[in-house]
């Protein structure tokens, strides 16, 4: 798979299973460099929560994140803490016999419009167009393409071919994965703006906040960003600087479900919509469904349709998808269990 910053062949995921003294198990996932996240969990964080009450999620968050803030404000430690925090919600829901969305504020919406995040850059634009057609044929009403491997002028043909293939009634986003300079991103937005793009995602390096703010003021396509950001403080910077139209926190990276909920509330105060980043295993997919189901200012569920074996195949019961919408699971906790066979097949015990 090729994106603006290069290609990748292998995907790694860090899943945790927390078991209580009553035998209840909770699933969680940390999103980041799997090798580092797993090392932090194994070396420290798993031991830190032994003996704690998984109902006391704020206390556990504080112990794992706030007490370490002097050294670990962002990065893999926050991803590791996110995984344990997510698992606590799963445990709490199972023990109380309610789905996690009930614990997060109750149901605001029970099915979520999804977009397929699965058109990767190809040398042949026709291949990208055919891939877009395949996704639309599968029922998606919105698709996202990863472009920006070549210059804005060279990649114009790819935007054009995809739009021609899917027609005007299907939503289309472009994800640049932070691969362009601010200069090129501005050029690209002006060249591509006639193709009715829903948003332009991560146009530039996520560290260049001032440039992102400047870019947003110059172009007409809405900007989405935040999948590389951590905690509510990172999003406060994005919002205060008027740098994004759509915020994209990843539950497994920002600090967990409560942190993401807090980010959504903050976004709402700025009138900003949230489309959580969701490109990992079926566990993160389930957590994202519960978050979005309970949060009014969320929009468009990101879905990986690239046949990743640890996505729907990982789950004992795949999550329900119909006519472009995912249904929120009603079982207790996150409402998903991992297939032992698939876990055994793909589990890596050392890197
Ligand atoms: Mg992205």
For residue range 93-130, what is the model confidence (pLDDT) as tens digits? 999 999 999 999 999 999 999 999 889 999 999 999 99
DSSP string computed for 185-250:
HHHHHHHHGGG--S-EE--B-TT-HHHHHHHHHH-SS-EEE-TT--HHHHHHHHHHTT--SEE---
Instruction: Extract the tokens encoding 106.
Output: 């109750």
CA distances from 263 to 1, 88, 257, 279, 280 (A): 31, 19, 10, 19, 20
Contact 234, 74 (CB under 8 A): yes
Q: Would you identify the CATH topology of the domain 103-346?
A: TIM Barrel (3.20.20)
Instruction: Give the total residue count for the chain.
Output: 351
Lowest mean pLDDT among 2-16, 137-151, 214-228: 2-16
For residue range 126-150, what is the model confidence (pLDDT) as tens digits? 999 999 999 999 999 999 999 999 9
Q: From CA 183, how far away is CA 63, in angstroms rounded? A: 43
Residue 123: closest CA among 7, 219, 214: 7
For residue range 23-38, what is the model confidence (pLDDT) as tens digits? 999 999 999 999 999 9
Dist. CA 185 → ligand 1 center (Å): 15
Dist. CA 227 → ligand 1 center (Å): 7
Q: From CA 275, how far away is CA 247, in angstroms rounded? A: 6
Q: DSSP character for 314?
A: G
For tokens 């850059």, the residue is: 121
Dist. CA 215 → ligand 1 center (Å): 18
Dist. CA 188 → ligand 1 center (Å): 17
Dist. CA 114 → ligand 1 center (Å): 15
CB atoms within 10 A of CB 190: 14
**pTM of the prediction?**
0.96
* CATH 3.20.20.220 applies to domain 14-97: no
For residue range 282-324, what is the model confidence (pLDDT) as tens digits? 999 999 999 999 999 999 999 988 877 788 888 888 899 999 9
CB atoms within 10 A of CB 342: 16
CB atoms within 10 A of CB 103: 18
Average pLDDT along the chain: 95
Q: Hey, which bits of the chain come out as E strands?
A: 2-3, 6-7, 14-19, 25-30, 111-119, 142-146, 171-175, 200-201, 223-225, 246-247, 273-274, 301-303, 321-322, 325-327
CB atoms within 10 A of CB 19: 12
Dist. CA 153 → ligand 1 center (Å): 21
Rg, Å, the chain Cα set = 20
Q: From CA 269, how far away is CA 7, in angstroms rounded? A: 38
Domain residue spans of the chain = 14-97, 103-346
Dist. CA 35 → ligand 1 center (Å): 21
Dist. CA 70 → ligand 1 center (Å): 29
Dist. CA 207 → ligand 1 center (Å): 15
Given a cut of 70, whether residue 351 has pLDDT beyond it is no
Dist. CA 107 → ligand 1 center (Å): 27
Dist. CA 19 → ligand 1 center (Å): 33
**Which residue would you say has higher pLDDT here, 227 or 312?**
227
Dist. CA 21 → ligand 1 center (Å): 39
Given a cut of 70, whether residue 346 has pLDDT beyond it is yes
Dist. CA 65 → ligand 1 center (Å): 25
Dist. CA 201 → ligand 1 center (Å): 6
Q: DSSP character for 41?
A: I
Dist. CA 87 → ligand 1 center (Å): 24
Dist. CA 202 → ligand 1 center (Å): 6
pLDDT in the model for residue 4: 81
Residue 185 has φ and ψ, to the nearest 5°, of -65, -40
Dist. CA 221 → ligand 1 center (Å): 16
CB atoms within 10 A of CB 239: 20
């Amino acid at each position: 798979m090729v994106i603006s910053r290069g290609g990748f062949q292998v995907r790694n995921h860090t899943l945790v299973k927390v078991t209580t003294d009553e035998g209840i198990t909770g699933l969680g996932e940390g999103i980041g460099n799997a090798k580092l996240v797993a090392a932090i969990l194994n070396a420290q964080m798993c031991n830190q929560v032994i003996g704690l009450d998984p109902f006391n999620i704020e206390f556990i968050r504080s112990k794992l994140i706030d007490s370490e803030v002097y050294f670990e404000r962002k990065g893999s430690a926050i991803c590791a803490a996110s995984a344990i925090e997510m698992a606590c919600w799963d445990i709490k829901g199972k023990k109380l016999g309610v789905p996690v969305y009930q614990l997060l504020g109750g149901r605001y919406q029970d099915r979520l419009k999804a977009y397929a995040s699965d058109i990767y850059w190809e040398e042949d634009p026709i291949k990208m167009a055919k891939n877009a057609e395949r996704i639309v044929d599968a029922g998606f009403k919105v698709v996202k393409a990863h472009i920006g491997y070549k210059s804005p002028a060279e990649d114009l043909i790819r935007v054009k071919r995809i739009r021609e293939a899917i027609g005007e009634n299907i939503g289309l986003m472009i994800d640049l994965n932070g691969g362009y300079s601010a200069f090129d991103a501005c050029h690209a937005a002006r060249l591509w703006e006639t193709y009715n793009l829903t948003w332009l995602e991560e146009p530039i390096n996520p560290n260049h906040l001032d440039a992102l703010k400047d870019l947003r003021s110059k172009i007409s396509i809405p900007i989405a960003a935040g999948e590389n950001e951590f905690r509510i403080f990172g999003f406060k910077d994005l919002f205060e600087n008027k740098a994004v139209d759509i915020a994209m926190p990843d539950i497994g990276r920002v600090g967990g479900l409560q942190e993401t909920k807090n980010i959504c509330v903050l976004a709402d105060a700025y009138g900003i919509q949230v489309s959580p980043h969701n490109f990992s295993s079926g566990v993160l997919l389930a957590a994202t469904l519960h978050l979005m189901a309970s949060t009014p200012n969320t929009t468009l569920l990101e879905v990986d349709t690239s046949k990743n074996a640890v996505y729907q195949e990982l789950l004992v019961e795949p999550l329900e998808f119909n006519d472009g919408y995912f249904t929120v699971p009603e079982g207790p906790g996150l409402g998903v269990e991992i297939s032992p066979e698939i876990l055994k097949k793909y589990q890596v015990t050392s890197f």
